[in-house]
Amino acid sequence: MKHSFFDKYSYLDTPIHRIRPEIKMIFFLIFTSFVIIFEKKHFIFYILSFVGVFLISLISKVPFNFLIKKIITILPFVFLVAICNFFSKSKNISTALYTFLNSSLVVFLLILLVETTKFYELLSVLKKFRVPKILIILLSFIYRYFFVLIDEIEKTLYSIKLRSPKKYPNKKSLANIVGMLFIKSFERAERIYYAMIIRGFSARDEHN
């Protein structure tokens, strides 16, 4: 089955792609730290930042509409963060707006970072930055088995649609799908874990 990989455009050859992953990661961390520390900034900063993101996407040849689609899928969570910030602080609309803009900008840059850097290179950079090994292992597993889970979802939906096309989809079928996926994921995770243990896997020794 076809999948939209996280680093779909990371194998292009552009000036942005040729920048060392460590430099891109450091720039991302510095910029993110600046955005977090200084919550309220002049509106011109956001205009220039989003224009910069657009220019980077042009240079890297990552389609801007692709970035928009990615950000749209994450916007509900960004909006939720802004709403929570609104109610937890001064209940000021400008505070929620700044939170929304800051989060959106960071997410845009994160997507560009992933789309211009191979995933294994990102993991290697995290290792050099002394990120806990267990987090690196978890990220590698998420990247590897996320697509397996998507395959299971597509197969399950297709099989249910073939059996009862007129009644599909409905609340009962969706509830069954969630239950089946949970059981299958749990069983697959156990099989993978035992297979790794048999092969001598140890989180302490991994990535040494």
Average pLDDT, the chain: 78
Higher pLDDT, residue 69 or 125: 125
- pLDDT score, position 90: 57
Nearest CA to 65 among 115, 139, 120?
115
Write out pLDDT tens, residues 127-145.
888 888 888 888 888 777 7
Grouping H, G, I as helix, E, B as strand and the rest as coil, residue 18 is helix
Residue 155, amino acid: K
- pLDDT score, position 89: 58
DSSP 61: T
Higher pLDDT, residue 141 or 51: 51
**Token pair for 181:** 């996926």
Residues composing the chain: 208
Mean pLDDT of 182-191: 79
% of the chain residues with pLDDT over 90: 8
Write out pLDDT tens, residues 112-122.
898 898 888 88
C-alpha 90/C-alpha 97 separation (Å) is 13
- Ordered alpha helix ranges (H), the chain: 15-18, 21-37, 43-60, 64-88, 93-115, 119-128, 133-163, 171-198
Q: Quick one: CA dihedral 183, 184, 189, 194, positive or negative?
A: positive
Q: Is the pTM of this model over 0.85?
A: no
Q: How confident is the model at residue 208 (pLDDT cuts 50, 70, 90)?
A: very low
Q: How confident is the model at residue 22 (pLDDT cuts 50, 70, 90)?
A: very high
Is the predicted pLDDT of residue 172 greater than 80, yes or no? no
Are the beta carbons of 12 and 60 closer than 8 angstroms?
yes
Higher pLDDT, residue 145 or 203: 145
